[in-house]
Structure 1
């Protein structure tokens, strides 16, 4: 990323209608991108397949358009990028910039609950 031309994104989850806080975040990111001659991207966080609905995605598009916030590339959908994420994970592992976790699901749950109690 060129610091003079940043790429910023807004990543709403289509599990409900766009709310004021989400609209504010989109506006701030859009203003930042425009101020710095950058790009504003839209990534739909649709990995919650149970609650994500196409009508909420369309409502997000419509609301952002109504606000005058145009994105600069086709929207990305998290659920369709698994191959890209796998590719990047393999690169990170191969370059030893990441490592595998061998914790059990139960151990991760316990650690998460401990961290939540401590915060």
Structure 2
């Protein structure tokens, strides 16, 4: 059996340590790349969220304007009469005009 010296053990330990360090270095590089990719995606999502927020603000303003317009239209419609009421008033005015012509205006 061969005698193992302290130098042989140091070579084995140093070799193993170098392999482990290279493996860790590769894993840290992969982790760093994944972290960079994740950061880019988060930054993109933040920008998209900001744009969506701006769009929501615009929609809220538009909806408020539309609500105001609907209220104005309803108020104007409340002031108008329907066809039936209009016809009744026309008939009444015509009768009054005829009455005035017949009994009050002497030609």
Query: Shorter chain as normaliser: what TM range?
Result: under 0.3
Structure 1 length-normalised TM:
0.18
Structure 2 length-normalised TM:
0.20
Say which one has the larger Rg.
Answer: 2
| Higher strand residue share | 1
